[in-house]
Amino acid sequence: MNKICYINSASSISSQNTFKNKNFFKEIVVSNERTTPALEPNYSEIISKISIRRMSKITKMGIATAQSALKKANIIMPDAIITGTGMGCLENSEKFLKSIIENKEEFLSPTAFIQSTHNTVGAQIALNLKCNNYNMTFVHGSISFELALIDSQLLISENQANNILVGGIDELGKKIVDDTLKLENHYKNGIKAPLSEGSHFFIISSIKTSNSLAILKGIEIYHKIFENEILNKINLFLKKFNISEIDVIILGFNGDIWDKYYKILTDNLFKNTPQVQYKNISGEFSTSSSFGLWLGLELIKKQNIPKEVYLNNIKYNKINTVLLVNQFKGTQFSFILIESAL
């Protein structure tokens, strides 16, 4: 991929007050709750009241952040819409399953089922914009968002698109997620990061503008990395882009036993690098790395690291290059490298 990909805007709805709050760094809240729902904006200011009534939470979050990202980048119509989601439209899935049980599998309304498919958000964004361009949804667990980013890079490198709307989005279900993760012993090891949700959209572009936030240098994903391989994999990834050192590393610590992978990095290769965590403020969800990317862009933009996420307090002069590393239960590793566009 020889063409440069710029990140020209970013929008976030998360468990923090990130949607319209320019002073986010001063108002960070670290929750001790097991779940932290997203702080949603007043949707009536963004979406028509008639449409809101028929939309699920995840759809409203997606449309709001998508429209915000487009507005910030001064884009009316994207050349493509690409979304990533790990769990999809959980609330509508739950409604449909509940209806099956209550109605004994008879006389079922198909509405909740139709609106429970994983590509619902991307489709609703397209309908709202009247966009008939390329539209794709990736559903691959905790690397769903990363695959959406890779797809955007491919489209730009092949000259098939210039401005692409890319997002990662997941919602908290009222029952399914909690019960499923209980069965998986998600809480067994004292998870610090609460279960959460969020929607993060970005404009990935081949065109640099005066408002460009960063360059998307590269992305790499692995299904499995053994402990003795992680340092070498990171080194090889950085060498691809002739990067000898980075200014900040962002890590997906969540308090489970698999944090040992991050510890290998913080105790060795990045021992003298400013280290940042993010899941203590974003919570854990399948596409939480999209919040990590949004946070990395904020660090570059504001040239400041909030104390709530600062792990080692090593002094820094300038934040130009940021590496985001994420994994889930020792599988689905991802590396995202961004660099200041200035």
pTM score, whole prediction? 0.93
Residue among 123, 105, 104 nearest 56 (CA): 123
Angle at which helices 57-72 and 90-102 cross, to 10°: 160
Residues 6+ apart with CB under 8 A from 150: 219, 221
CA pair distance 293, 218, nearest whole angstrom: 12
Q: Which of the four CATH numbers 3.40.50.300, 3.30.559.10, 3.40.47.10, 3.40.50.2020 does domain 6-205 have?
A: 3.40.47.10
Contacts of 306 (CB under 8 A, 6+ apart): 25, 28
Q: What is the pLDDT of residue 3?
A: 86
CA distance 238 to 87: 31
Element (H, E) at 94: helix 90-102
Plot region of 313 (φ>0 → left; ψ -120 to 50 → alpha; else → beta): left
CATH architecture of 218-340: 3-Layer(aba) Sandwich (3.40)
| 204 in Cβ contact with 151 (< 8 Å) | no
Q: What is the pLDDT of residue 143?
A: 97
Note the pLDDT of residue 182.
58
Q: What is the pLDDT of residue 261?
A: 97
**pLDDT per residue as tens digits for the range 140-180:** 999 999 999 999 999 999 999 999 999 999 998 776 555 65
Q: Are 287 and 85 in contact (CB under 8 A)?
A: yes
* 303 CB-side CA count, 13 A: 6
Residue 6 is encoded by which pair of tokens?
Answer: 């710029």
Domain with CATH 3.40.47.10 in the chain: 6-205, 218-340
d(CA 55, CA 297): 30
Q: Give residue for tokens 């020889």.
A: 2
> For tokens 């959460």, what's the residue?
196
Please count the other Cβ atoms lying within 10 Å of the Cβ belonging to residue 269: 18
Question: Tens digit of pLDDT for each residue in 280-326?
Answer: 999 999 999 999 999 999 999 999 999 999 999 999 999 999 999 99
| Strand order, beta sheet including 80-84 | 134-138, 80-84, 163-170, 198-205, 6-13, 214-224, 331-340, 321-328, 248-251, 275-277
At 176, is the secondary structure helix, strand, or coil? helix
Would you state the structure tokens that stand for residue 169, as one six-digit string? Answer: 């989005």
What local confidence, expressed as pLDDT, does residue 16 receive? Answer: 96
- Measured CA to CA, the distance from residue 78 to residue 17 in angstroms comes to 26
pLDDT at 92: 72
- Residue-level pLDDT at 287: 97
- What pLDDT sits at residue 53? 79
* Spatial CA neighbour of 337 closest among 160, 137, 146, 169: 146
pLDDT less than 70: residues of the chain: 1-2, 111-115, 175-191
